[in-house]
């Protein structure tokens, strides 16, 4: 299972982080103001795009670090949440960290106890497998989809094909002509 958890984390986090980076590239190429995008929200009580990108990256970093039994590396936050360039730099640092953790470091991770506080009087405790399946992946996808939705809501011309770009290796045949891929 050691190789499997490494494959699952790296094979999930890295391609989707690259997809997120490509979504941000499309926003920039279409002339969207990165500083303005950083502050957009779907609802007044939701966190802005800047925090959605941060949490996507945090779930990947913290997910891998907790599985291998180490503290996640610190990320300089000074300008990372201000604009698209900062978002992309954060994403690249996250990818570099995830890719730097060798498969053998995951040895025993599936049964390792992972416990941490959620609030002052509330904590969680998982096995590594439960943590990845029930906490890290769902949170990663939640913030990733929210970032996608925020960009779409602001008129960035992206679609499902952009979100799912990581499956290019599996495509067979010819895509339909004239389809935008948006859903």
- Structural domain containing residue 74: 2-168
Whole-number pLDDT of residue 174: 76
Give the tens place of pLDDT for each residue, 18-63: 999 999 999 999 999 999 999 999 999 999 999 999 999 999 999 9
CB 57 within 8 A of CB 75: yes
- Read off the tokens for 105: 């470091």
The residues near 5 (Cβ < 8 Å, ≥ 6 apart) are: 67, 106, 109, 110, 128, 129, 132
Whole-number pLDDT of residue 1: 47
Give me the mean pLDDT over the 76-80 stretch: 62
- Read off the tokens for 89: 């730099």
**Is there a domain that residue 176 lies in?**
no
Count of the separate structural domains present in the chain: 1
Q: Higher-confidence residue: 76 or 99?
A: 99
**Is there a domain that residue 6 lies in?**
yes
**Is there a domain that residue 183 lies in?**
no
**Is there a domain that residue 119 lies in?**
yes
Q: Is the pLDDT of residue 93 over 60?
A: yes
Whole-number pLDDT of residue 177: 63
Q: Is the pLDDT of residue 72 over 90?
A: no
Give me the mean pLDDT over the 127-140 stretch: 97
State the CATH number of the domain containing residue 9: 1.20.120.450
Whole-number pLDDT of residue 28: 96
**Is there a domain that residue 178 lies in?**
no
């Amino acid at each position: 299972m050691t190789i499997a958890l490494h494959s699952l984390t790296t094979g999930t986090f890295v391609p989707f982080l690259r997809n997120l980076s490509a979504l941000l590239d499309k926003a920039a190429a279409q002339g969207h103001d990165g500083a303005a995008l950083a502050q957009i929200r779907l609802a007044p009580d939701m966190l802005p795009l800047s925090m959605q990108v941060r949490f996507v990256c945090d779930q990947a970093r913290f997910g891998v670090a907790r599985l291998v039994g180490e503290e996640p590396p610190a990320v300089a936050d000074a300008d990372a949440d201000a604009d698209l360039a900062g978002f992309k730099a954060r994403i690249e640092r996250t990818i570099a960290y995830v890719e730097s953790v060798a498969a053998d470091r995951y040895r025993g991770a599936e049964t390792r106890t992972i416990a941490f506080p959620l609030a002052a009087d509330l904590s969680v405790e998982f096995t590594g497998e439960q943590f990845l399946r029930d906490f890290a992946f769902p949170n990663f996808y939640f913030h990733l989809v929210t970032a996608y939705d925020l960009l779409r809501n602001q008129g960035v011309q992206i679609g499902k094909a952009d979100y799912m770009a990581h499956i290019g290796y599996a495509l067979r045949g010819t895509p339909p002509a004239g389809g935008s891929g948006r859903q």
